[in-house]
Copies of this chain bind each other. A is one copy, B any other.
Amino acid sequence: MRIGVLGTGMVGQTLSGALARLGHEVVIGTRDPEAAVARTEAPRPGMSSFSEWHAANPRVKVATFAEAAGHGEIVFNATSGTGALDALRAAGEERLEGKILVDIANPLDFSAGMPPTLSVANTDSLGEQIQRAFPEAKVVKTLNTVTAAVMVEPQAVGDGDHHLFVSGDDPAAKREVTRLLQEWFGWRNVIDLGDITTSRGTEMYLALWIRLMPATGSPMFNIKVVL
């Protein structure tokens, strides 16, 4: 499958690498591909630089936001939440038209230090903002409730016995994303929360997630809905 991934951070790298290893044709998009490939400093301790990552993942093509979006039959928004709308505008509305746009971003605002707050919450959400800005794209909000390593390997936590959520206005697009997440990564338990306004629920859950991480001692966790 031809897949476009917008954003070269930890989420974009993890997702692109995993999808390329599964044999997909992945193009990862960024504002300035040459600058990204030349980047040798690690974004944070313990992470490799983008140039190291790129050397280790040669099947992933690095290109502009527009090229990645144009390439993808399906497009993932893996940018930082506060940069998402700008990145998607650079990708271009016409290259997203009619496509499934999987929105993984969380609108985390680190400007006042740790822990972050949300730049949009409560009466709106990033998922809704994106759907309003790109009405011809089929926005499906998902994967934003787990750390990157869990997105592509749910079995790494509790043997995969936990839940993921999808939000979106297009039921067929949600079913297709649910099917792909099962097929690609083995996500067994996906709950359809409803229309794109339900993105508020999973984005606001981040306020609990960022406090569970220090309490559990690791980002390798997820929640299971117990009935």
Contact = CB atoms under 8 A, between A and B. Distances in A.
Interface of A: 117-118, 121-123, 157-158, 161-162, 165, 191-194, 198, 200-202, 204-205, 207-212, 214-216, 218, 220-227
Task: From A191, A207, A214, name the one whose CB has the most chain B CB atoms within 10 angstroms.
Answer: A207
A218 B227 contact: yes
B207 A194 contact: no
A81 to B, nearest CB: 13
B215 A208 contact: no
Contacts of A215: 191-194
A120 to B, nearest CB: 9
A20 to B, nearest CB: 28
Task: Count copies of this chain in the complex.
Answer: 2
Nearest to A208: B201
A207 B127 CA distance: 14
A54 to B, nearest CB: 32
B191 A200 contact: no
Contacts of A162: 224, 226
A227 B221 CA distance: 5
A224 B224 contact: yes
Nearest to A157: B226
14 contacts: A121-B121, A122-B207, A157-B227, A161-B226, A191-B212, A194-B211, A201-B207, A201-B209, A205-B208, A216-B227, A221-B225, A221-B227, A223-B226, A224-B224
Contacts of A223: 223-226
Given A158-B227, A194-B215, A201-B209, 11 more contacts: A117-B122, A121-B204, A191-B215, A192-B215, A193-B211, A201-B211, A202-B208, A221-B225, A222-B226, A223-B224, A223-B225
A192 B215 CA distance: 7
B212 A221 contact: no
